[in-house]
Each structure stands twice: as C-alpha cells, then as structure tokens.
Amino acid sequence: MCWFSFSLQKDADHAVVIAVTSRAVFGSGADDDEVYGEGLAFPLLQALQRVNEHLLMNNPAELLLFDIVLLTTDSQQQQQSPRIISSTRHYGLEVGRFCFSSEEDFVENLLKNNVQLFLSTDRNEASQATQRGVLSALLDHQTASCPSEQLKVLFFGDAVIQPDTGPTPPSRQAARSFSAQLGEMQRRFTMSDSPLSIGLVTWRGGRDSCADALHTLRSRGVRVDEAYCLAEAPWGPILSVFRPHFLLSDGFGGLEG
C-alpha cells in the first residue's frame, strides 16, 4: 500500500525513482515522542534533495529529478506510520511516496512503483530486489552516513566490465539505465558546479580493467570525476576519502547470498 504526497509528485515519465527503507533513514533507539531520530541514510536523502534543488535552479521546468519513495517493511515502524510521515515533514524531507509492505511482497511494490534504485541496510532485502531485476545497493556505516555538499556515487568497476557471453540479467539493464540517467543529470551542470560527484574504483585487474570500465561508463554518457585503480590494494582508504553515499556494482554477478 502506498500513500502519495500530492504536492511532491514528480513526472512519472522522467523522474528517477529511488526507494529507501525507513529503517535506513530513521534510526531506532532513543527518539523524541513525535519524531524519529536521524538514521544512516539521512545525509543521503538530503544530498538527493540538493541535487533536485540545483536542477530546478538551473531550470524551474526540469523534469529529470529524483523521486523518493520511502519504504517501510519493518512491522514495528509500520504501526507508527503517522510518525514516519510527520518525521519526514519535521526534517523537511521531500518524500514523494510512502509505501508500507510486508517482507514477502515489498519487491512487488518496488516493481509497481517503477523503482530504479533500491537502497537498504538489510542484505536480504537488497538481494531479493536484485534477483527480481531491481538495481539495489546495500548501505553501511562506512559509506552512507557522511554529510556532504554533493551526492557522491561510487561505481565498482569490476562489475561494470561486460562479460563476453550470456544474456543480460535484468538488474544489469536496470543498472545501465540508471547510470545513463545520472549521466544525463550531470550534463545539466559544468564540472565546477555539479551537485553530483561520480567515482570509479576497480579492484581486480590492473590499468586495462580500469580503462575498460572508463570506456563502458563513458559509452553510457556518465562523466567520471574520480577514478581509482587498486590492483588489489586495500579498499578502505578510497571509501574513507571519497565518502560515497552509495556504491553501485551494476547488478552484475547476481547474489549468491
């Protein structure tokens, strides 16, 4: 079941729909009576909103905007649905749709709402969504919670490189179109005033793997701002310095659990 926030409706044909779980946005634990505390994905939501603001500043008639869907699968939080809605209002979060769903059929909800990217702190949820062809990313403490002026997206290049054979999994198709839309958004800005920063990191392989990933992203119209070719050096420093809000593995390779 989904409740629409009428004043914040985006054009369905052009908006980039991103679903985030309320568990990720609002922390559990010591909260105010009326309102939830800020969770892991809170800065991420603010960054998405900032991108929208910049897009609209450039062009008040802009239709290519992020459309946020707040998904609640947690039964405890579901019982407090008014509190979720009032919390978003309290923090000035622009949520287009509130969806309440069980763990069993939340993916249906994602598909019905044409969600192009699903963000969750729950590994199982992310896995289920990917298997049904919805591009997903797992949020964790290393990445999601850093406040930043820009929306920072990090592509994991090992998965960007195309395999030679086999049919394209639906989640990969979803990844391609999502990244193309990010590229489209980037083109609304120059390099020095972009509210969006895109990074690429390749871990396996050397410089040629990174070159392949750069070519692939370029062919999708994505402008890569920062690139790191690690050749199996540790990840940690890249995450600590780049501080992505989320990582995209392109949905490649599926999830073996």
Interface contacts to other proteins, rule CB under 8 A:
123-124, 126-127, 130, 136-138, 140, 142, 156, 158-159, 161, 163, 190-192, 197, 200, 203-211, 214-215, 223-241, 247-249, 251, 253-257
Q: In angstroms, give the least distance from the CB of 61 to other proteins.
A: 26
User: Least distance from C-beta 108 to other proteins, angstroms?
Assistant: 19
Q: At 51, is the secondary structure helix, strand, or coil?
A: helix
Q: Which is nearer to other proteins, 76 or 192 (CB)?
A: 192
**Strand, helix or coil for residue 249:** coil
Q: List the structure tokens of 47.
A: 């960054």
Measured from the CB atom, the residue of 102 and 240 that comes closer to other proteins is 240
Give 7 or 165: the residue with its C-beta nearer to other proteins. 165
Q: What's the sign of the alpha-carbon dihedral 99, 55, 120, 178?
A: positive
- Of 249, 3, 14, 7, the C-alpha closest to 138 is 249
DSSP state of 189: S
CB of 9 to other proteins, least distance (A): 29
Task: Kindly give the residue spans of alpha helices, DSSP state H, lying in the chain.
Answer: 22-25, 42-58, 75-78, 81-91, 106-112, 123-131, 170-186, 207-219, 236-242
Give 17 or 238: the residue with its C-beta nearer to other proteins: 238
Nearest distance, CB of residue 205 and other proteins, angstroms: 4
Q: Name the residue nearer to other proteins (CB basis): 5 or 223.
A: 223
d(CA 217, CA 219): 5
107: Cβ contacts below 8 Å, ≥ 6 apart: 128, 129, 132, 134
Q: How far is the CB of 92 from other proteins (least distance, A)?
A: 29
